[in-house]
């Protein structure tokens, strides 16, 4: 009986642990972004708190490029992934000076991390 309960507890906890790990790896992948981005305030780049699900170019008090403001994008996971992978290709004329992150695993982790900052 004890084993059964323990087994069930582990089965319940495993997915949570896997998720936490991705977000933790994502926090590391976010390190280069910190040069320009923070959560809770604008810097060189716009505040990224709650960015997942937000309309592009709409954070209050930040002076976006016309390109991003008029992109009509909403930052769902797929769109964010394409943007971070290759910002220039996704929104030509934007002003984020970042070459792009090409590693799919790191991209997924990074987005898992962004989702924790809501």
Q: Which residues bind ligand HEC (CB under 6 A)?
A: 32-33, 35-37, 44-46, 48, 51, 56-57, 59, 64-65, 67-68, 75, 80, 84, 94-98, 101, 110
Q: How far is the CB of 10 from ligand HEC (least distance, A)?
A: 33
**CA count, 13 A, side-chain hemisphere, 118:** 9
How many angstroms separate the CA atoms of 80 and 6, rounded? 39
- How far is the C-alpha of 49 from the C-alpha of 45, rounded, in Å? 12
For the CB of residue 89, give the shortest distance to ligand HEC in the complex, in Å. Answer: 14
Structure tokens given for 74: 């909403």
Q: Judge residue 50's burial from the number of C-beta atoms within 10 Å of its C-beta, 0-12 exposed, 13-18 middle, 19 or more buried.
A: middle
Residue among 11 and 60 whose Cβ is closer to ligand HEC: 60
Closest CB 42 distance from ligand HEC, rounded Å: 9
Using the minimum distance from each CB to ligand HEC, give the nearer residue, 37 or 115: 37
């Amino acid at each position: 009986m004890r084993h059964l309960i323990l087994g069930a507890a582990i089965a319940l906890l495993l997915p949570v642990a896997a998720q936490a790990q991705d977000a933790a790896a994502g926090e590391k992948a976010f390190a280069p972004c910190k040069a320009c981005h923070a959560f809770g305030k604008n810097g060189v780049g716009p505040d990224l708190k709650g960015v997942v699900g937000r309309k592009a170019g709409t954070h209050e008090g930040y002076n976006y490029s016309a390109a991003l403001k008029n992109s009509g994008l909403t930052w769902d996971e797929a769109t964010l992934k394409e943007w971070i992978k290759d910002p220039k290709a996704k929104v030509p004329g934007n002003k984020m000076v970042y070459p792009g992150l090409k590693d799919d695993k790191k991209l997924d982790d990074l987005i898992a991390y962004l989702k924790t900052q809501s």
